[in-house]
């Protein structure tokens, strides 16, 4: 006697009108490939995910470019120009002191 749970017959040994109809729908060109015969309770949502991905990428990249431009031209360049003007003024002052001597 074998111990453990009773063995169930495999799905290939069970034949019902539904499984034979499904097997008849399999393409003849791929007999080596088993197809999933289980039906899903809810259909997969593939088209919406693709559209959502494109929308998310567009919004993300657009917002990223806008924020990068704001940082570069609104913050970085004015600060860089102020720094350059300060060092130019310092250099002019140093040259003027050297020529005055």
pLDDT in tens, 33-84: 666 666 777 776 677 778 888 999 999 999 999 999 999 999 999 999 999 9
Against a cut of 0.75, is the pTM above it? Answer: no
35 falls within a domain: no
Identify whether 92 is part of a domain: yes
Which has more confidence, 100 or 66?
66
Q: Report pLDDT for 68.
A: 98
Report the residue count for the chain: 101
**Domain-embedded: residue 42:** no
Is residue 77 domain-resident? yes
Domain with 74 in it: 67-101
Q: Is residue 100 part of a domain?
A: yes
Nearest-angstrom CA–CA distance, 64 and 66: 5
Q: Is position 37 within any domain?
A: no
Q: Which residue did the predictor score with more confidence, 8 or 97?
A: 97
Half-sphere exposure at residue 40, Cβ-oriented, CA atoms within 13 angstroms: 5
Residue 51 lies in a domain: no
Q: Would 38 be classed as within a structural domain? A: no
pLDDT for 81? 98
The domain total for the chain is 1
């Amino acid at each position: 006697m074998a111990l453990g749970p009773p063995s169930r017959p495999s799905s290939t040994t069970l034949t019902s009108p539904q499984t034979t109809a499904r097997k008849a729908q399999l393409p003849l060109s791929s007999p080596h490939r088993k197809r999933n015969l289980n039906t899903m309770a809810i259909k997969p949502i593939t088209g919406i995910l693709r559209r959502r991905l494109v929308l998310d990428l567009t919004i993300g990249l657009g917002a990223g470019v806008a924020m990068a431009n704001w940082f570069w031209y609104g913050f970085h360049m004015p600060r860089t120009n102020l720094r350059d003007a300060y060092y130019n003024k310092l250099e002019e002052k140093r040259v003027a002191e050297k020529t005055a001597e």
